[in-house]
A and B are shown apart, each in its own frame.
Chain A
C-alpha cells in the first residue's frame, strides 16, 4: 500500500544548475499537486496536474519552473538555473481528483542551493 513517493529526499544543487524532483502518486490517483514550503512557513500551492495536462499553474513562478505528469511515469517538477531562494521543501500530493477528497502527501524533497 505505497503512498506518495518522492525522490530524492534531499537534493543539493549549485546556483545555476537544474533540479529535477520526482513524484509517484498513490496507485490509482491521476491528480497531482505540488506545494512549496519555505522554512517556518506554510505550504504554498504551485501547480495542479492530471495525466498529460496542466490544470492550474497559477502558483508556479513564470520563469525557470516547469512541471509535467506524463502518461507513463512519475510527475516531474523541474527548476532550471536554481538560485538560493529556491531552497525549500517541495511536497507532492495526489488525490482521486473528486471534489473535497483527501489529498495524500509525500515526504517531500528538501532542495538546498549552495
Chain B
C-alpha cells in the first residue's frame, strides 16, 4: 500500500517534443506529490510538487497533472531540451509518514538534439 509505481522506465524524446512520465499510488493517505530530477552523480533535486486539492500545476515548461479518483499523477515536460536529460522520480508522502518520501522507480529521460 506504500508503493508508488512509475512508468516508463526509460524515455527518448526529440528536442522540442513533450516528455510524459506517469505515476500511480495506492495509499489514499498520501497528500503531497513531488517530482525530483537527478543528474548522474548528483542528489535528487525538487522539480515541482502538487497537493490533491488541485488537478494541475504548471511551472515553466513543467506541468503536473493529478487525478485523485484514479490515484494517478503525471509529469509533462514541454519543449523538451537536451539539458532535461536526467532521471526523474515521482514521490509521495502523507500525514501518516511525515516528511518521509516513498519514491517511484525512476524514469531515465534522454532528449536527443
Q: Which residues of A contact B (CB under 8 A)?
A: 4, 6, 31, 33, 35, 41-45, 48, 55-56, 91, 93, 95, 97-108
Contacts and interface: CB of A to CB of B under 8 A. Distances in A.
Interface in B89-113: 89, 93, 95, 98-106
B34 A102 contact: yes
8 contacts: A35-B103, A44-B103, A48-B100, A100-B51, A102-B49, A103-B101, A105-B44, A105-B45
Contacts of A44: 103
Interface in B29-61: 31-32, 34, 36, 41-46, 49, 51
Contacts of A100: 31-32, 51, 93, 99
A39 to B, nearest CB: 11
Looking at B43, B46, B98, B102, which has the most chain A CB atoms within 10 Å of its CB?
B43
B89 A42 contact: yes
Contacts of A95: 99
A43 B89 contact: yes
B43 A45 contact: no
Contacts of B34: 102
Contacts of B32: 99-100
A42 B99 contact: no
A103 B106 contact: no
B61 to A, nearest CB: 20
A33 to B, nearest CB: 6
A101 B31 CA distance: 12
Contacts of A31: 99
A3 to B, nearest CB: 9
Given A33-B100, A108-B43, 19 more contacts: A4-B43, A41-B106, A42-B6, A42-B104, A44-B103, A48-B98, A55-B98, A56-B100, A97-B99, A99-B95, A99-B99, A100-B31, A100-B51, A100-B99, A102-B46, A103-B46, A105-B36, A105-B43, A107-B41
